Amino acid sequence: MIQNLLQTPIEYLKGVGPNRAEVLKKELNIKYFRDLINFFPNRYIDKTGFYKINQLQRNSAEVQVVGKIVHMKMVEQKRGKRLVADFVDDTGKLELIWFRGHKWIRENLKLNTPYVIFGKTNWYNGVFSMPHPEMELVADYKKNLRTAMQPVYPSTEMLVKKGITNRVVMRMMQEVMQQTGLKFSESLSAGLIEELKLIPKAEAIFNIHFPKNQELLAKAQFRLKFEELFFIQLQLIRRNLMHKQKIKGFNFDQIGEHFNDFYQNHLPFDLTNAQKRVIKEIRSDMGSGAQMNRLLQGDVGSGKTIVALMSMLIALDNSFQACLMAPTEILSIQHYNGLKELCENLALEIRLLTGSTRTAERREIHEKLVNGEIDILIGTHALLEDKVKFKNLGLAVIDEQHRFGVAQRAKLWKKNHIPPHVLVMTATPIPRTLAMSLYGDLDISVIDELPPGRKPVKTVHRFDSNRLKVFAFIRDEIKKGRQVYVVYPLIQESEKMDYKDLMDGYESIAREFPDFQISIVHGQMKPADKDYEMDRFVRAETQIMVATTVIEVGVNVPNASVMIIESAERFGLSQLHQLRGRVGRGAEQSFCILMTGHKLSNDSKTRLETMTATNDGFEIAEVDLKLRGPGDLMGTQQSGVLNLKIADIVKDNSILQSARYYASRILKEDPNLSEEKHAMIKHAYSRLVQNKTIWNYIS
Ligand SMILES: Nc1ncnc2c1ncn2[C@@H]1O[C@H](COP(=O)(O)OP(=O)(O)OP(=O)(O)O)[C@@H](O)[C@H]1O
């Protein structure tokens, strides 16, 4: 019965009617009783206590006082009239002030009669005042049934204009609570409720609207936040499990010649423990019979490339082909050169395919792919073209996940009748917890250790006015045999201006360092010219690389030890971290100098301080998330975590972790939620899946 009641259109609620229903629908998407119940306050006014006037503090929040008006007068000033009333209790005096509505107040307020007043106080020249207080006669105050903590609901201009004030919403809420009799069915199992000491669903819903006190509010919030995150996690984990069951993958059970030969004879360095662990994870995943869909996270320079290569060798050992796709041409070329070098003694056919590959060569590549002569294909989006057909693609490695969407990943899948295993590498660490909640469909491996001997990059912030000292430093480093990057921002809207900045910068550097060779790389150059310039820098024919952010990801020149970032305040944190990652890749001490003007916003200051304080990509990602919120992190759009109603992915991190833990524990025990004890969860879950929104499961 309650089900039907909750489905009642909102216009049938007492005090609503068709006009208000229309506004509620338009402004707040509230159509049924259920939607109203799910409309939560965004804050509360605490009216649980009373203040005496001599207890008021200069910066107190809103306070409630009992006293009487003993005197009223109009005060005229240049800026206009105001009505001032002396309000006293047995400890002192407070001024009540009105700038508007004088007539009504003078006619209606009673002198020498006890009132409860509520509002924010100001302190000026030894006197406390309260502008436009809420007032109620003590007699009425006692009569009215009320909640001590008053909810404040989100509002819009239109709502207020149409008379749907906070008070009106409160009344509607009380009405709907009464009508439904708080008979919401439970959506969590008794065991879970007991284990986590949660309050029952109905009590939580009531207290989120009309909390009796702070303690109950906290309990209600915890219960509802947990519930929200729990069901999201349940969905993500379940999807992941189903994916594993359903999607068959190639079973790579062989570890053979290529892998072993490389591991035993050609590995240029010892793998770090993290690399070994991750390779094991990948190997067992690809040998499980299900399709691998794995995210490989590793900080800049943590050595993801070798992991990718060894995974590809496993594919080859099982008589499959592999491909590696990178977001830019420069990166593809670099991967190509790097892998060629690593595989020098392995007798493998490795080819490069990008937008600039010539037609004849392209044709040859297409042919050799189909007949299986090419073992590893490296390239850009060009790999996704329909013409590119493999004989048997077993593993696709995708570098820099953020630049490729889910749809593109899917396109790679279609290249086979059985989808290849997919390994997505990203150097832009996403905070662990967020990654868990975003990529329920991906498993995650983390390389959380840098190769030995790396010295953390020393990072400093310098103002533009100190440029001469910075130039002197560059000179010293180059004299020691090092190379230097100077990077300029490039923001699309003002590409022309940035281009000019870059050119001006280039000229001033050329003037300052006539004795050094300089490379320049920017987005408007032809690919061939870019490669030429890049190549000169890689071979150390040039000492300074002046560039825009095209070099942001993955460029690997271990001898480069200084990164100068111009207008650093214009870059986001993850970008700064990526850029800094271009140095510190060799054994020498490296430096990153963040140049800015003097005018800095608070956020810019936080970014610069974070960069100078830490080299840890995960720590930086956490700060970034706090500064920008998850909305700006790519990929969050599709995940649904943004539609959270009550939980906050950043602030409620620990609740998220616990929700994830319990969701996975329950699914491990009972994947289909078929046990009796999980009936309530199953019911709520099925409603959630049906309605595609987390908050439709109150029933
Ligand atoms: N175990 C190791 N011991 C020593 N050097 C290593 C090790 N693993 C990788 N390297 C070297 O570290 C450098 C960085 O490795 P790689 O380019 O794979 O990093 P990455 O994780 O791809 O970083 P980015 O995302 O910044 O490109 C390379 O020069 C590589 O040869």
pLDDT tens-digit readout, 486-507: 998 865 445 555 666 778 888 8
Q: Please give the Cα distance from 235 to 649 (Å, whole number).
A: 16
Q: How far apart are CA 385 and CA 369, in angstroms?
A: 13
Reference 626, options 692, 696, 574; nearest CA is 574
In this model, does residue 582 exceed pLDDT 50? yes
Res 123 pLDDT > 80? yes
Would you report the helix, strand and coil content of the chain in percent, each value rounded to 5? 45, 20, 35
Nearest CA to 321 among 383, 376, 265? 376
Q: How far is the CA of 303 from the centre of ligand 1 (A)?
A: 3
| Phi-psi region at 384: left, alpha or beta (left = phi > 0; alpha = psi -120 to 50) | alpha
Contact predicate 489/566, CB 8 Å: yes
Give 265 or 436, the one with higher predicted confidence: 265
Mean pLDDT of 108-121: 91
Is 439's pLDDT higher than 80? no
- Please state the rounded mean pLDDT for residues 644-665: 84
The pLDDT value given to residue 639: 43
Categorize the per-residue pLDDT at 636 as very low, low, confident or very high, splitting at 50, 70 and 90.
very low
CATH number of 2-45+152-183: 1.10.150
Return the pLDDT at 486. 95
Instruction: Assess whether the C-beta atom of 298 lies below 6 angstroms from ligand 1.
Output: yes
Average pLDDT of 634-643? Answer: 46
Is the distance from the beta carbon of residue 334 to the nearest atom of ligand 1 less than 6 Å?
no
Which residue out of 271, 275, 295, 305 has the highest number of ligand 1 atoms within 8 Å of its CB and is therefore the one to mutate? 305
Categorize the per-residue pLDDT at 555 as very low, low, confident or very high, splitting at 50, 70 and 90: confident
pLDDT higher at 21 or 386? 21
- Give 641's pLDDT tier (boundaries 50, 70, 90): very low
Classify residue 565 by its DSSP letter.
E
Q: Which CATH superfamily is domain 257-286+303-426 in?
A: P-loop containing nucleotide triphosphate hydrolases (3.40.50.300)
What is the token pair recorded at 384?
Answer: 């996704």
| Domain segments of the chain as ranges | 2-45+152-183, 49-147, 195-245+654-696, 257-286+303-426, 458-614
Hey, which bits of 288-392 come out as E strands?
293-298, 321-325, 350-353, 376-379
Rounded distance from Cα 306 to ligand 1 centre (Å): 7
When mean pLDDT is compared across 346-360, 391-405, 558-572, the lowest value belongs to 391-405
pLDDT of residue 235: 82
By alpha-carbon position, which residue is closest to atom 9 of ligand 1? 303
Mean pLDDT of all residues in the chain? 85
Confidence of residue 358 (pLDDT cuts 50, 70, 90): very high
Q: What is the mean pLDDT of residues 74-80?
A: 83
Position in ligand 1 atom list of the atom nearest CA 306: 18
458-614: CATH topology: Rossmann fold (3.40.50)
- pLDDT of residue 637 exceeding 50, the answer is no
How far is residue 382 CA from its own chain's centroid? 30
Q: Which whole number is the average pLDDT over 296-317? A: 92
Cα 423 to middle of ligand 1, angstroms = 17
| CA 547 / ligand 1 centre spacing (Å) | 22
Q: Is the CB of 577 under 6 A from ligand 1?
A: no
- Any idea which architecture 49-147 has in CATH? Beta Barrel (2.40)
pLDDT at 69 over 90: yes
559 lines ligand 1 (CB under 6 A): no
CA of 301 to the centre of ligand 1 (A): 5
**pLDDT over 70 for what percent of the chain?**
87
pLDDT tens digit sequence for 223-270: 999 998 898 888 888 877 776 666 778 888 878 889 999 999 999 999
Does the beta carbon of 217 sit less than 6 angstroms from any atom of ligand 1?
A: no
Q: Which residue's CA is minimally distant from atom 14 of ligand 1?
A: 301
* The overall pTM is greater than 0.90: no
**pLDDT band (50, 70, 90) for residue 437:** low
Q: Is the CB of 581 under 6 A from ligand 1?
A: yes
Three-class DSSP category at 149: strand
- So what's the pLDDT on residue 96? 94
On whether the CB atoms of residues 87 and 96 are closer than 8 A, the answer is yes
Rounded mean pLDDT of 550-556? 66
Q: Answer for the pair 496, 503: CB distance below 8 angstroms, yes or no.
A: no
Query: Do 49-147 and 458-614 have matching folds?
Result: no
Assess whether the C-beta atom of 585 lies below 6 angstroms from ligand 1. yes
578 lines ligand 1 (CB under 6 A): no
Split at pLDDT 50, 70, 90, the class of 580 is very high
